[in-house]
Structure 1
């Protein structure tokens, strides 16, 4: 790619980022009365924004998105590969009642924080790991009367393609406490929408819902299984996108 083409793609990527974040405010305001009255309004607002982002990515960037597999509709835990903000958007947009464990500070964001709470997101202080896990479990137990899909990231942070990062045992603690099936999710979205920087690449970004893992497995078996299934399938999706998955760093 020559310098002019690179600059043009970078500018379009910058415009894309500005537009999607700017759109949060009008969509949030438009749905706020409904969101205050019902969780349905908050979920509808988030789904509308997800659709806007994927539409704009296709139109402005040539970045198509695809959801493979069968998104769950019942009360399950979703354990997903996390490469960038795009996997959050695609996973949430594909399930009817998704909720996240989120940083406590986000609660204080105007409009967005209140909508996130109404969506059923669980705020925790990530600076205190033990207390955070305990808080997660308390909030999840308290929210069981409002069925949904709890979306978590077993590696705890965004991990760039080609980089290895451990799967954290807090995932097994939640799986054990919830006593629910777990749906693993693989992705290749970091190849096109990196964890840092403005540039977005054209192509087809994919998240794939894998077969459900039943509740009640021993923790070690569960962790070994989700890591193997998520990593193996994510590597295959990245290879499909042309990423050299053989060169992994540790």
Structure 2
């Protein structure tokens, strides 16, 4: 499907998914804080497929950093590239990094928010793994503010049988660009884990 028709179809489908979560699975989705609208890098906790699917409901036409393996999948990968996902090739050297940063800057120039799962993959609810090393590099090279987002979806949505209750999405304070690596990693790590048990 060409042009905006494809994007409209994606957004219709993800809104339908949110409706199913709330009305069939009986999971309330509660958003705390102000959803970012300007071009920013959203750094989000990743506990289940919920937030990966729901991202275009929460954000306006986001460009999401995704494992390159996903973009190599038949059909789905082509659709993901068409939507504007940015492939992450870990350990593939400077050329791959330059390509990724170039794509990200194009999305920023289009006025789209960027989104990344800085821990690298889905993690068990209640765990606090360190951020992947590449996050700080992306933050430095793109040069936009970071908005950290915590979510506790793993307690409700990750299981084979979903559990009624509440998923909380807590949007943290905007972090300016240009901070040292240790500071940006510490602030993002703390902010995306505020919903995890100590």
Structure 1 position 108, deviation (Å): 4.6
In 2 relative to 1, CA 68–45 (structure 1 residues): closer, same or farther, beyond 3 Å? farther
Q: Which is further off, 91-100 or 101-110?
A: 101-110
Q: TM-score, normalised by structure 1?
A: 0.71
Q: Kindly provide the CA deviation profile for residues 142-194 of structure 1, in whole angstroms up to 9, marking residues without a partner as x.
A: 44432211110111111111223111221111110011000000011111012
Paired position in structure 1 for 2:153: 189
Give the SS at the match of 1:97.
coil
Alignment RMSD (CA, Å): 2.1
Structure 1 position 109, deviation (Å): 4.3
Q: 1:229 aligns with which of 191, 195, 198?
A: 191
Q: 1:139 aligns with which of 103, 128, 131?
A: 103
Distance, in Å, in 1 between the alignment partners of 2:78 and 2:93 is 26
Give the SS at the match of 1:117.
helix
The structure with the greater share of residues assigned to helix is 1
Correspondences of 1:48-127 after superposition (within 5 Å): 48-109=12-73, 111-126=75-90
Q: TM-score, normalised by structure 2?
A: 0.88
Give the SS at the match of 1:234.
coil
For the 8 Å contact 1:133–1:170, the answer to whether it is kept is no
For the 8 Å contact 1:98–1:119, the answer to whether it is kept is no
Greater RCO between the two (CA within 8 Å, min separation 6)?
Answer: 2
| Number of residues of Structure 1 aligned to a counterpart in Structure 2 | 197
For the 8 Å contact 1:67–1:90, the answer to whether it is kept is no
Give the SS at the match of 2:109.
coil
Distance, in Å, in 2 between the alignment partners of 1:218 and 1:46 is 37
Q: Structure 1, unaligned stretches of length 5 or more?
A: 1-31, 236-244
In our comparison, the structure showing a higher alpha carbon Rg is: 1
